[in-house]
Structure 1
């Protein structure tokens, strides 16, 4: 039908009408993330070979759970920082950043370095850091503290899961 959106620009031979060249680096050059196998090397393939306990959640659970936990962590952090004053504010910010660093460190220790025992020790520190963060949040804003309870529970569970995987896969 003439004049429809389907015909809009029909016949225009501008620079964007030709197909993009097929270049393997195109996505990286334009800020797009690489496929998972490239970001983690073969860490996921290695993980699938490990003996895991029967109580491990399905792989499909991890993405939604971590998305929700990071949203709660951001909410609690924002509320706690807003409610903090004086010396408590920079102390809370340091504790929050330390927790995020520990969180990222587990992924590196487990998947990149392939050191489940080190990752388990790191997960225990993360669980302790998360409990401390929840305590600090509760002291200045009870809703912020309550928002971190699921994160504290999950990091404790993750420490137990890491420990179980370490015990089942010695060496």
Structure 2
């Protein structure tokens, strides 16, 4: 009977773990979905762009991979909820998702390049805080946030040059 209870708990934990993984990855992609409602369109095509601006086809695969990895990082921290207080770290994660989605609205939706840059600065700070908070719970989760921080650093540089060239 005790062995059966152990198997059931393990199975439930595994199911819970998979559901949690799905939730955190889906939540990350939901933020992507909100942001994708605002497409570059003709406005962006007519902007003066710096020489280091990547071709348009680069953004979709990079962001897809980043959203997947971000969701996995959040899930790894969420799995620590029985051992540690993870709510502050996951709250930072949610805040950075909101700032991420807001950037698309500001930049592509409202065409406010300067305000989008301000959003990116806040996003960068919150991603950095999320990286540190995740690292404290699961170093791998922190490391998984590093490519996102690097990409947003590049995006901020690109946004800055777009603002200077077109603002």
Scaled to the shorter chain, the TM-score interval is: 0.7 to 0.9
* Rg comparison, structure with higher value: 1
RMSD between aligned residues: 1.5
The 1:61–1:116 alpha-carbon spacing in structure 2 relative to 1, beyond 3 Å, is same
Q: How far did residue 91 of structure 1 move?
A: 0.9
Number of aligned residue pairs: give it. Answer: 131
Instruction: Compare relative contact order (CA 8 Å, sep 6+) and give the higher one, 1 or 2.
Output: 2
- 5+ residue gaps, structure 2, are 1-36
Q: Does 1:76 align with 2:73?
A: yes
Residues 34-86 of structure 1: CA deviation (Å, up to 9, x unaligned):
xxxxx437x42100100011101110000000000001100000001212457
Structure-1 residue corresponding to 2:126 = 129
Tell me, in whole angstroms, the C-alpha distance in 2 between the residues paired with 1:109 and 1:134: 24
The structure richer in helix per residue is 2
Gaps of 5+ in 1: 1-38
CA distance in 1, matches of 2:127, 2:140: 15
Distance 1:85 1:155 in 2: 32
Q: Residues 26-41 of structure 1: matches in 2 within 5 Å?
A: 39-40=37-38
* TM-score, scaled relative to structure 1: 0.72
**TM-score, with length taken from structure 2:** 0.74
